[in-house]
A and B are shown apart, each in its own frame.
Chain A
Amino acid sequence: MSDMVGKGILKSLSVSLKRFAETYLDDLSWLGKRYRTDKGIAHRGSKDARGIFTVQYPEEKIPVPEEFRFVPFLVYDEGPNGEKTLRCTSCGICAKVCPPQCIWIVRSTDPATGRPIPDPAKFTIDADLCMNCGLCAEFCPFDAIKMDHDYELASFTRNVYDETKLSKSAKYYESIRPVNARREDAARAAKAASRTGQGE
């Protein structure tokens, strides 16, 4: 450091200047296709990103990866006549593994016998307790509870979700997590096949 005082600052400024120039150079090289295109968004999150780094939410959104997890939801299968059956059997594993204990499940009972039947009468998740850890989805044996991708949940009131708000279709689930859904469907089909095989 015996040389000129201020050289270090100039060096710093040269980095800033380079980055300043890059914003325009990179913009120009895209010929106007840098913004509001999927390719442009992907570029800004890639190893080659340079220049303007901003993804302009809400017009542009960073695509979330398949494993992304936000508040959980319940998956229902749609029957041929549009009837909705929740996959949930109210076995309670999600409630038992939930670290902040934000899941409440009321089991249905058979009106005739009074015994519990595998269908939740009420399913409540307090989203203001939920820590989005994903353990419920990870350990659910029926693929009935999954982590959502929808993060645009801001509201003017507190967020306590009941089963109507939580239910989303299996199609939606497949659309947000195609790889997982395919793998789970295959596993379920194999299991069902082996069960019928044993039954015969």
Chain B
Amino acid sequence: MESNELNSPDYEIPPELQAQVAITSLDKIYNWGRSASVWPLMFGLACCAIEMICAAASRFDIARFGMEIMRPSPRQSDLMIISGTVTKKMIPIIVRLYNQMPEPKYVLAMGACASGGGPFKEGYNVVSGVDKFIPVDVYVPGCPPTPQALLNGLMKIQEKIKGESIKTARWYQKGPDMAEIPVPMLGPDLIDPRKITLIQNGKKN
């Protein structure tokens, strides 16, 4: 964020003080700090992961966005880039990783597969988009999105972060913590625990 943007609270600063003080709203500085240090989870799924690596490499260099610190552990990361086809065999692990990430956390669905199943949607082992299980913040279309398209998506994440406020952020609200997403199980097919009653009744209808 440019300094003039940061240094603009919603009320007027007397002209003689403008050079001496920097007044900002708490939200602005909080979101500025957060949006410039989004640490992604080091986690590649498929073809898009290679473009993600390229985005981290010297030509595109996501370090310029403060995002180069890819953490292999979900406990230390803020952003999950779903970079590739989500399969039924993999989704329990993805949900578990998502649950392990601390708030605030964001999810970017990179490419067609992660967004909506992609070209492999019809396959028997493919989940039709990761948003069937975990909430997605930004969708980046493309197969695969070029690194620049991914950077564009990451800027959308930053945009989203900048639009949030401490007052309303869900991770500072009173009450119970956000419920964990139940981890799907593998049976004769993928079993979503949220749909157990539907599965029990489904066939009889």
Binding site for B on A (CB under 8 A): 44, 52-58, 61-62, 70-71, 99-100, 126-133, 151-159
Contact = CB atoms under 8 A, between A and B. Distances in A.
Contact of A129 (B59, B117, B140, B151): B117
The secondary-structure label for the interface of chain A is loop
B119 interface: yes
B148 A151 contact: yes
Given A100-B118, A128-B118, A155 B148 contact: no
A149 B151 CA distance: 16
Interface of B: 58-61, 64, 112, 115-122, 129, 131, 137-143, 145-146, 148-149, 151-153, 155-156, 160
B59 to A, nearest CB: 5
Given A53-B59, A129-B121, A131-B143, A155 B151 contact: no
Contacts of B145: 151
B48 to A, nearest CB: 12
B118 A154 contact: no
Question: 8 tightest CB-CB pairs across the interface, nearest first?
Answer: A128-B116, A154-B153, A100-B119, A131-B119, A151-B149, A128-B115, A127-B141, A131-B143
Contacts of B149: 70, 151-154
B142 A151 contact: yes
Given A129-B118, A155-B138, 20 more contacts: A54-B59, A56-B64, A57-B152, A100-B119, A100-B121, A100-B122, A127-B112, A127-B141, A128-B139, A132-B143, A133-B143, A151-B148, A151-B149, A151-B152, A154-B140, A154-B152, A155-B141, A157-B139, A158-B139, A159-B116
B139 A156 contact: yes
Given A53-B59, A54-B64, A131-B112, A151 B146 contact: yes
Nearest to A49: B59
B61 A130 contact: no
Contacts of B122: 100
Of A56, A129, A153, chain B has the most CB atoms within 10 Å of the CB of: A129
A61 B156 contact: no
Contacts of B142: 70-71, 132, 151, 153
A132 B47 CA distance: 14
B143 A156 contact: no
B137 to A, nearest CB: 7
Nearest to A157: B139
